[in-house]
Chains A and B, each alone.
Chain A
Amino acid sequence: MKKRVVSILLTAAMAVSLLAGCGQTGSGNTASTDNGSAATTNTGSGDTGKAAADGANGKVYYLNFKPEADEAWQKLAEAYTNETGVPVTVVTAASGQYETTLQAEMAKTDAPTLFQVNGPVGLKNWIDYCYDLAGSDIANNLTSDAFALKSEDGITAGIAYVIESYGIITNVSLLEKAGYKVDDIKSFDDLKKIADDIQARKDEIGVKGAFTSAGMDGSSDWRFKTHLANLPIYYEYKADGISQTDAIKGTYLDNYKKVFDLYITDSTVDPSQLASKTGDDSENEFLNGEAVFFQNGSWEYSALSAKYSDDEIQMIPIYFGVDDANEGLCTGTENFWCVNAEASEEDIAATLDFMNWCVTSPTGTAAMADDMGFVIPFKTAAESPNAFVKQDTAITAAGKTPVSWNFTTMPSEEWKNGLGSALTAYAAGTGDWKAVETAFVDGWAKEIEANK
């Protein structure tokens, strides 16, 4: 009998907690501006828009690639809806899941109207779904025609909407505490010497290591399998005078190894732990002043500026030991907006209006510059407060050559994943460098073949 009473009480408690759950959900829903729910709240206001243009009857569904900018996009979408009445839904794919999400979403009837590809290789897969943007307002607004992504048939399929830089972010104060200045680092050898010294005296300086952990978790491994891997490709293309290839030779893989070795030996953690280290771990180490160097890009600015002033953080080139005297930051884009040609005419018009609004209106340009920290290649762009962007301009002005983003020519995600796995195993000591070379060189040819 007693047992029955207890069980009835428990069930009642459960029921109450569940009801409380729904109550809160309900109230959360009406006020919510979060991820998906924006769409539900916005749709109702669809007919309040005054503009009589085609786009006013359409809707926008943007599948966003950049997780770090998700919040800013949600806000911007809401602002646009409030201003024009056109419903805008922004969905952000989880890191490393963009292609998966895009494939699943494009097959639906309510497919994304605005999505993105990462360059010529990505475009090949989606060219059938790209609306020709030639002559559109946004295309005409580009500062240079070079930022338009053209297909082999000459269709303007994509528009670059952000220019970014990456390099080694340096904590200037900590570097000074160790007795060095940023100007002391002019080549790979300088970097290695200083990093080794900091690593040796880490307790004295009060850090855990020279570099933040080179985490190989999916949230962080792109820094090495994609961004760092750009350098050997860049120098090989440069040496051979080409801009893409079906068979990479891996001429500069030794330099790649040297830099990666430096990252994992002069590190805050033991290399065996790297496999489970995340992007967050690495960022937190830098924010907590546990490491002096952090390989990442200008998109990190908003996270870092919360803690450091502009003078305290400086982005330096990833010196690669090939042409250090002339090497600048890696600057380019892998973010090209494409409009889904399969969408209805109204939706396409609405999407074009939205894109144009983002890069021309004061609200849009301000959000892209301030909240997202983007430099956008449009004539109407607002100046970005991003310190890394300014540093990039200064470095280029000083006569260095920016390293272009050639990872857009990598054969596939599969290739990157193969390289990432080999790097992880190498870092942990369960695999050797030979496997990395195989993944890099043979993997390239294999993927080109498989995707023909």
Chain B
Amino acid sequence: MEKAIKKYWIIFILPTMAAFLIGFVWPFIWGIYLSLNKFQTLKKVEFVGFSNYIKVFQDETFLHAFWFTALFTLVSTIVINVLAFAVAMLLTRKIRGTNVFRTVFFMPNLIGGIVLGYIWQSLLNGLLYIWDKPLLALSATEGFWGLVILMGWQQIGYMMIIYIAGLQNVSPDLIEAAQIDGASAWDVLKHVKIPMVMPSITICTFLTLTNSFKLFDQNLSLTGGEPAKNTQMLALNIYDTYYARSGAQWKGIGQAKAVVFFVIVVAISLIQLKFTRSKEVQA
């Protein structure tokens, strides 16, 4: 069987691999190479070694974007997962209208990031105006919470669905057994439900963590980095360096920033997976 499939490799793997090569492998390798060069278009590519990387770490806007992104990721991951889990708990109580609620909460996931950003920009600016507060483009704190609200609104529904599936898999017998042993509702949650849905928690934290860290569209349309790049996240900072700044040196720096960004994302993903997977084993 294996041999027969192998014979057909041209049909089975070639199309995907060819596209993969064009769409990922080659641009990726080329990107790493370009991060060591100075270029504007590709007419004149000048090798400059690691000087782009040195400039990346001297760039205050990049460092600021890093801390802003890190803080945003932390806050939004916690907010989204706690709320999504809470709503999922409520929705697994078999109350009236469960299906309607589930449908409504999931809906924002279908709307694109650019569109979402503009919707919320109008809405939040309207509210801030009524409350007599500076508008979104003026305050980094508001911009930060605006992004958290926007991400929460979009992602809670998605994570909720995954948590519901996880909670439904917890066997009722197990909960009953715990209750007979005299466990309170809190004990059941802490010692039975959470350990049992640990795989869902793993996947949800992974998704929220990487989504938040790589956020671009919403950042671009909600705050655009205002005021003065104070709400610029890493992805937007890279794009900004790459395309909005004119001059031959910036593209190389932008590419070097992208490589650094990539390394950070991979590191975070690995650490997170290791961390939560280890908890799963214990449970």
Contacts and interface: CB of A to CB of B under 8 A. Distances in A.
A246 interface: no
B244 interface: yes
A249 to B, nearest CB: 22
Nearest to B228: A421
Contact of A413 (B41, B129, B246): B246
A100 B243 contact: yes
Given A107-B42, A128-B43, A424 B137 contact: yes
A414 B247 CA distance: 12
A397 interface: no
A351 to B, nearest CB: 18
Contact of A272 (B44, B135, B136): B135
Given A100-B244, A111-B41, A413-B246, 11 more contacts: A99-B244, A103-B242, A104-B243, A272-B132, A272-B135, A275-B137, A276-B137, A413-B245, A418-B228, A424-B138, A428-B134
Interface in B116-161: 125, 129, 132, 134-139
Contact of B135 (A104, A218, A276, A421): A276
Nearest to A97: B244
Contact of A275 (B138, B229, B242, B246): B138
Interface residues of A, number: 35
A430 B248 CA distance: 35
Contacts of B202: none
Contacts of B132: 272
Given A128-B43, A425-B227, A99 B138 contact: no
Interface residues of B, number: 28
Given A106-B41, A342-B43, A421-B226, A430 B138 contact: yes
Contacts of A428: 134-135, 138
Contact of B228 (A124, A273, A276, A422): A422
B40 interface: yes
- Secondary structure of the A contact surface, majority rule: helix
Contacts of B40: 103, 106, 125, 128
Contacts of B229: 421
A60 to B, nearest CB: 19
25 contacts: A99-B243, A99-B245, A103-B40, A104-B243, A106-B41, A125-B247, A129-B41, A272-B129, A275-B137, A275-B138, A276-B125, A276-B135, A412-B245, A413-B244, A413-B245, A413-B246, A417-B228, A418-B228, A421-B227, A424-B137, A425-B138, A425-B228, A428-B138, A430-B134, A451-B247
A106 B251 CA distance: 13
Interface in A396-431: 412-414, 417-418, 421-422, 424-425, 428-431
A122 to B, nearest CB: 7
A106 B129 CA distance: 42
Nearest to A435: B228
A103 B241 CA distance: 11
B228 to A, nearest CB: 4
Nearest to A274: B135
Interface string B51-81: 0000000000000000000000000000000
Contacts of A425: 138, 227-228
Contacts of A275: 134-138, 226
Given A275-B135, A421-B228, A430-B139, A125 B248 contact: yes
B246 A125 contact: yes
A272 B246 contact: no
A273 B242 CA distance: 31
A272 B43 CA distance: 47
A126 B249 CA distance: 12
Given A107-B42, A128-B43, A342-B43, A273 B246 contact: no
B135 A273 contact: yes
Nearest to A341: B43
A95 to B, nearest CB: 13
Contacts of A414: 244-245
A276 B226 CA distance: 12
A407 to B, nearest CB: 15
Contacts of B245: 99, 412-414
A425 B230 CA distance: 12
A272 B130 CA distance: 11
Interface string A419-452: 0011011001111000000000000000000010
Contacts of A431: 138, 227
Given A425-B138, A430-B138, A107 B41 contact: yes
* 9 A-B pairs closest in CB distance: A421-B228, A125-B246, A275-B137, A275-B135, A107-B41, A100-B243, A430-B134, A430-B138, A428-B138
